[in-house]
Structure formats: C-alpha cells, structure tokens
C-alpha cells in the first residue's frame, strides 16, 4: 500500500511540475512576443514619457464601413486627430475612406496586408505581408506609412530590426477594453478605457474585426464617451507620430 501511495504521489508531483512549467512557458512566450508592454526585443512604445495631458487614440483593423466613417465624423466634430492602423486589403476595399482620413489630418499606419495569423508563423511570409500592406497604403496616399502595428502585437527581433532598417516605427499601445471583440455596453468599454489613461497613453480601439468587417457600433459609441470625458478632464489628442516624434 505504502509503495502504491508513494508512486501516486510521485506521479502527481511530476504532473504538477509539467503543468507549472508549461504555464510558465506560455506566460513567458506571451510576454515576449505579444504583450503590449514588453520591450525585450527592442523599442515597441505603448505610451510616451510625458507629464502633458495628451492621449493618442488609435484604431486597428479598418477601414470597415460605416463604422470608420462614423468615428471620423465624430472626431471631425471635436477637432480630434487620431492614428488608423489599416489593413491593406481593407484599404483596397474602401480607398475613399482612407483618403478622407488623410484629408482630415489623421495619421495612417500599416497593420499588414492580410491580418492572417498563419502568416506570423513564417518570417518570410510575414515580411511579404508587411511589405504588401505598406505598398497598398503607399500606392493610395503617395507615401509609405512610417508607423506599423503588427496584428495581435505579435513581434520578434527580426521584424523589429527589419522595420527599423526601413525607417518604420513599430507601435504598441494600451487596449481600451480587452473585451471589445465581444462588443459589451459602450459605457462599460468607455469606463475601462478611461481608467487606463495616463499622460502619453496610446489607446487602442478597433474599427474593424480581423480585417473581415463586422459590427463596431458599440466601439463608435464608446469612443464618443471616451473622447468627451477626456476633453472634460483637460486632455488633448494627437497622432502617434507627433506623440513619439517620428518624422512624418
């Protein structure tokens, strides 16, 4: 009996060790490759170092109509400029929306061409996807985007080095609401986003979903609440290139 008990104990201990080690490996992998704040592989700013009450709003995965235009119309009404990290194939779908954002003074960053996760599994495929996305924006607006945000924030040293060589600034940020994909109540999303804001914060929202479109009406409503609240609190808004001093 005693030897069975000790064998069971040994098996339990080994299982716990495997589970703990696996969880630690997953956590470390997430921190290194996908967390918004890790700088382990090089500069990947999620905020600027400043005491000024300034925020940079950013929007990923668009253009996605009518939501991108609804956000743009609201920002225009408040004289607020933001940064839109756009997906190349969505830019090709709605070129007039991207051009209107440019004429409104917003910054256009690139967010890859396809936004497909499997492209992240091969650096050569990912590099092609990044280049194609930048070309899609450049051929429309006449200049290469100087800002790039990788889909899912997934990055590695080779990507960051390659971007820096091209003079492109990789950009992270703070997710306005981690539950945004489920489109919770706008008031809840806005409250969670506002609670994260500090001077110099780069706030991330999504005007699209994985480059496939999808409803973002509640994001539009939440952004209105966030902007008006922060304006009341004395914040002003800027684009990420200006916030970080990236040459235009």
Under the binding rule (CB under 5 A), the answer on residue 150 touching Zn ion is no
For the record, the structure tokens of 240 come out as: 């990420």
Q: How far is the CB of 233 from Zn ion (least distance, A)?
A: 28
Mark residue 10 as left, alpha or beta (left: phi above 0; alpha: psi -120 to 50; beta: remaining). Answer: alpha
Under the binding rule (CB under 5 A), the answer on residue 207 touching Zn ion is no
Closest CA to 55 of 168, 146, 154, 176: 176
Q: How far is the CB of 215 from Zn ion (least distance, A)?
A: 16
Q: How far is the CB of 64 from Zn ion (least distance, A)?
A: 11
220: exposed, middle or buried (C-beta count within 10 Å: 0-12, 13-18, 19+)? buried
225: exposed, middle or buried (C-beta count within 10 Å: 0-12, 13-18, 19+)? middle
Number of residues that bind Zn ion (CB under 5 A): 3
Instruction: Using the minimum distance from each CB to Zn ion, give the nearer residue, 61 or 129.
Output: 61
Instruction: Using the minimum distance from each CB to Zn ion, give the nearer residue, 155 or 230.
Output: 155
Alpha helices in the chain (DSSP H): 2-33, 67-77, 88-93, 95-103, 123-141, 157-165, 186-196, 217-232, 240-244
Interface with Zn ion (CB under 5 A), residue from 45, 47, 60, 177: 60
Cβ-contact 218, 186 below 8 angstroms: yes
Terminal Cα-to-Cα distance of the chain (whole angstroms): 75
Under the binding rule (CB under 5 A), the answer on residue 45 touching Zn ion is no
Exposure string of 11-27, with b = 16+ CB inside 10 Å and e = fewer, is: eeeeeeeeeeeeeeeee
Under the binding rule (CB under 5 A), the answer on residue 129 touching Zn ion is no
Under the binding rule (CB under 5 A), the answer on residue 241 touching Zn ion is no
Q: How far is the CB of 214 from Zn ion (least distance, A)?
A: 12
| Options 33-41, 150-158, 159-167, 240-248: segment touching Zn ion (CB under 5 A) | 150-158
Cβ-contact 126, 119 below 8 angstroms: yes
Rounded Cα gap, residues 97 and 62, in angstroms: 10
Interface with Zn ion (CB under 5 A), residue from 48, 55, 61, 126: 61
Under the binding rule (CB under 5 A), the answer on residue 180 touching Zn ion is no
Going residue by residue from 3 to 42, which x/- string records binding to Zn ion, judged by CB under 5 A? ----------------------------------------
| Options 66-74, 127-135, 151-159, 196-204: segment touching Zn ion (CB under 5 A) | 151-159
Interface with Zn ion (CB under 5 A), residue from 45, 63, 151, 186: 151
Q: How far is the CB of 150 from Zn ion (least distance, A)?
A: 8
Residues that bind Zn ion (CB under 5 A): 60-61, 151
């Amino acid at each position: 009996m005693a030897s069975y008990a000790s064998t069971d104990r040994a098996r339990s201990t080994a299982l716990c060790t495997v589970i703990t080690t696996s969880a630690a490996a997953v956590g470390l992998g997430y921190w290194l490759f996908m967390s918004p704040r890790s700088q382990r592989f090089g500069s990947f700013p999620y905020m600027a170092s400043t005491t000024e009450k300034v925020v940079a709003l950013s929007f990923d995965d668009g253009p996605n109509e009518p939501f991108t235009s609804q956000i743009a119309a609201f920002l225009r009404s408040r004289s607020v400029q933001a940064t839109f990290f756009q997906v190349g194939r969505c830019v090709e779908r709605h070129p007039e929306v991207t051009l209107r954002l440019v004429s409104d003074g917003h910054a256009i960053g690139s967010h890859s061409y396809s936004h497909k996760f499997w492209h992240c599994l091969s650096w050569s495929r990912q590099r092609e996807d990044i280049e194609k996305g930048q070309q899609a924006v450049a051929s429309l607006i006449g200049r290469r985007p100087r800002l790039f945000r990788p889909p899912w924030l997934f990055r590695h040293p080779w990507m960051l080095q390659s971007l820096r060589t091209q003079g492109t600034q990789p950009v992270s940020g703070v997710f306005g609401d981690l539950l945004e994909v489920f489109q919770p109540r706008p008031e809840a999303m806005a409250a969670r986003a506002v609670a994260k804001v500090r001077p110099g914060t780069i706030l991330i929202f999504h005007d699209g979903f994985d480059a496939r479109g999808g409803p973002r009406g509640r994001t539009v409503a939440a952004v209105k609440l966030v902007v008006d609240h922060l304006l009341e609190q004395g914040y002003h808004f800027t684009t990420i290139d200006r916030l970080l001093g990236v040459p235009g």
